[in-house]
Amino acid sequence: MKVASIQMVSGVETAPNLQTAAALLDDAAGLGSELALLPEYFCILGAKDTDKVKIKETYGSGPIQDMLAQKAARHKMWIVGGTLPLAIEGDHNKVNNTTLVFDPSGNCVARYDKIHLFKFKNENEEYDESRTLIPGALPVVLDLPSKDGHTWRVGLSICYDLRFPELYRVLTDLGADMVLVPSAFTFTTGQAHWEVLLRARAIENQLWVVAAAQGGLHENNRKTWGHSMIINPWGKIVAQRQSGEGCVVQDISWTENVLARRQLPALEHRIF
């Protein structure tokens, strides 16, 4: 199956970001992708944290979701919409940071709300997602029938979730063959930890990892690490884009999961 990891450098206004995302989805489809993954906050990296709350959508309705559904149906392609802010009933000040999955008919078939909320502080940077986000609570997998004849089981995660291996072990126990990681890692944390964490999740669970990142200097002066990549079940990076917007496209094979787990049956050797 051919998959596309899309990297962006999103700005503070939603409309231009949607235009860029739409064009990159067109590129992914033109390269033959069956599945395209957008990065976290592809629709906005605001001038301030509360900007995401201002563009929140109700689940099932809104221009961000409409664009994703229309592109999925037009290209007959699975689209995983990075993340977008979804409204929470009864709370006007916070949102869920949500991944939505659209099938090739344009139907939304899965939703995952980010469970782990990022918090970081050093001399020059400070982030606390709990100020504007409400965490999710449930791991999510979905079945994705591919043209290669296999039905892939895909696990969903978002950015800071990457630091919590227990989530990925749960996704593996639920049968995941591949996990998706839309992200907006900061330059500081990405430079230190991004690659090693992604490769570790692939190695310890013996599955494909597809990570789509924000990558560059943004309009709000935030700098993100980029390095969108696709990693095989042996932990090898098979495709990568370091910075700037664009698509990382790769053919992935279901048999590599089988081979890795047969050659080194670590999952069978678990004690706990």
In sequence order, which residues have a C-beta less than 8 Å from that of residue 44 and are 6 or more positions away?
Answer: 10, 11, 12, 13, 14, 17, 51, 52, 55, 85
Q: pTM higher than 0.85 for the full model? A: yes
pLDDT in tens, 152-209: 999 999 999 999 999 999 999 999 999 999 999 999 999 999 999 999 999 999 999 9
Catalytic residue among 2, 56, 114, 223: 114
Please say if 159 is a catalytic residue: yes
Please say if 114 is a catalytic residue: yes
List, in order of start, the domains of the chain with CATH numbers: 2-269 (3.60.110.10)
Going 105 to 106 to 111 to 117, the CA torsion angle's sign is: positive
Catalytic residue among 52, 94, 159, 247: 159
Q: Where are the alpha helices (DSSP H) in the chain?
A: 14-30, 51-54, 63-75, 165-173, 187-189, 195-205, 254-263
pLDDT in tens, 34-50: 999 999 999 999 999 99
SS3 98: strand
Rounded Cα–Cα distance for residues 89 and 86 (Å): 10
